[in-house]
């Protein structure tokens, strides 16, 4: 679920093609998300579970992304 949430945000920001050329799913998407600061203060639980609060932080971080 964590990887899927990151992928959706990256695609919404228009970085999908860059993430695909950078390794695809999930590595390329996570790499781009880290490089633009999307994952600051976002945690991930066991088995890739992301909480609603962490999704809110991820979306909030979108506001400051380039």
Which pLDDT band, with edges at 50, 70 and 90, does 11 fall under?
very high
Q: What is the DSSP annotation of 21-49? A: HTT-TTHHHHHHHHHTTTTTT----GGG-
Alpha-carbon gap, residue 9 to 62, rounded angstroms: 8
Helix (H) or strand (E) run with residue 59 in it = helix 52-62
DSSP summary character for residue 15: -
Mean pLDDT of 38-51: 84
List, for residues 30-43, the tens digit of each pLDDT value: 999 999 999 999 98
pTM to 2 decimals? 0.87
What is the structure's pLDDT at 60? 94
């Amino acid at each position: 679920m964590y990887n899927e949430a990151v992928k959706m945000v990256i695609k919404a920001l228009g970085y999908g093609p860059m993430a695909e050329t950078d390794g695809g799913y999930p590595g390329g998407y996570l790499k781009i998300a880290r490089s633009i600061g999307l994952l600051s203060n976002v945690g991930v639980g066991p088995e890739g579970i992301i909480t609603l609060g962490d999704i809110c932080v991820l979306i909030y971080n979108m506001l400051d992304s380039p």
